[in-house]
Structure 1
Amino acid sequence: MDDDRALAGELATAAGRLLLDIRANSGLAGKELGDAGDQRSNELLIRRLAEERPDDAVLSEESADDKSRLSAARVWIVDPVDGTREYGKGDRADWAVHVALWSSADGGGLIAGAVALPALGVTYVDDPGPVPPTTGLASSPKGDRPRVVVSSSRPPAFSQPVADAIGGEVLSMGSAGAKAMAVVRGEADAYVHSGGQYEWDSAAPVAVAQAKGLWCGRIDGSPLVYNRDDTYLPDLVICRPELTEQIIAVTAAG
């Protein structure tokens, strides 16, 4: 698994460097930049996985879904650019590259994952090592109150009730990976989401967050399940373990 973890980190980092080069040198902006980044990052990840793990299946946001993955022993779940809109703006740091590995062993689960934050020059992998509190994703320094990060484009209706339940405040941010890593990095205490996500949005962030000791699950408290026929996985909670009960009491009620 260490080799898989190292490969996940290497691929996420390499894709991130490519994306930075495209953003700096292509002359593109907005949707055109986002589309170019998605395509070329996906090409890199698919090519490298074919070279490095030819017997494994791949599920990518930017490739056709080959259903043979459902009977595969190992499936890489990748998002070549998570937060394409933020990436396309050129001056945003809240976008990411996701690379995760799912295995059918022991009933199925994530066994490796990496999230690159290319604009910050850092990649997080699913090792248990501590992460020193840092800044760079949030628009303002974190105060004493707990902070709940939510989607800037699709904030859930329970955003403020969750913040109220833990005596905190709400902060909007792009990219599921960036929001999850804001919790990993200590810039936030919880990330809650409802609606509009797929397996590639959360697989790598969840692998990393779980390894760092955070609680990850669905808004009703049930586990997150990957490599399903239907890749839609609409909701997610990632939080400090001691906040789980208070948060799920709100999110499970709708």
Structure 2
Amino acid sequence: MRGHPRHLRRPGRHGGGAVVNAVAIPGRLSRRQIAWRAARDFPRGACVNLGIGIPTLAADYITPDQDIVLHSENGILGLGPAPAPEAADPNLINATKQPITLIPGGCFFDSALSFAMIRGGHIDVALLGALEVAETGDLANWRTNDDRYAPGVGGAMDLAVGARHIRVAMEHVTRDGRPRLRRRCSYPLTAPGVVARIYTDLAVIEVDERGFVAREIISGLGLDDLVRLSDAPIIPADDCRVLEVPALSG
């Protein structure tokens, strides 16, 4: 379904930012549906790294014709979809210690080589989770300002500056209803100006010199509503359309 959805309206000049209850929004995507939508945009033949959380689920929705090679920081090329619980091998895990499968031709290597791939620009796309993304493409995904929790950056900064294209998959607001799309990140940055595209439970949003640009929005949600759920302005793309995904279980 192409063209402007009828429910789209241009926002005012200023973004929102109020605490809202996104759970009550009908039609919002599940975590698996977000992952499915993100997987549809992986370029054919790309080497892709999947971050913690929603991004990891995208491995289950890559199709054979995409010819994608998945990379994991702990030294794996050629990850497949998640195994059934009874088929999990404790010796086969990704960087977040989740069970994995390996596609034919997959291989293992040490962390030094793994991070040389990342830092050398050999990862085409990194799909990462995020705490916040700013309208300038700034990414915050490694720590909050809560000193009760020790920060652990892991490979986040290496991926954010080393991968050729950075995309984010996350829920649009936090559990307590605070926007994750912001004018400026309130948390320490992982990297400035790196995020090009964002997949949320409400929309697909690109980041360019204009700021946040909505390319797809779930049916029934107006652009003004999307802005109210954000802390920065969002403008519609000329070809903005309804965000459509299949029903997915799990």
Give the number of the structure with larger relative contact order, counting CA–CA contacts within 8 Å between residues 6 or more apart.
2
TM-score clears 0.5 = no
Q: Which has the higher helix share?
A: 1
Task: Give 1 or 2 for the bigger CA radius of gyration.
Answer: 2
Give TM class, smaller chain: under 0.3
State the TM-score, normalized to the length of structure 2: 0.26
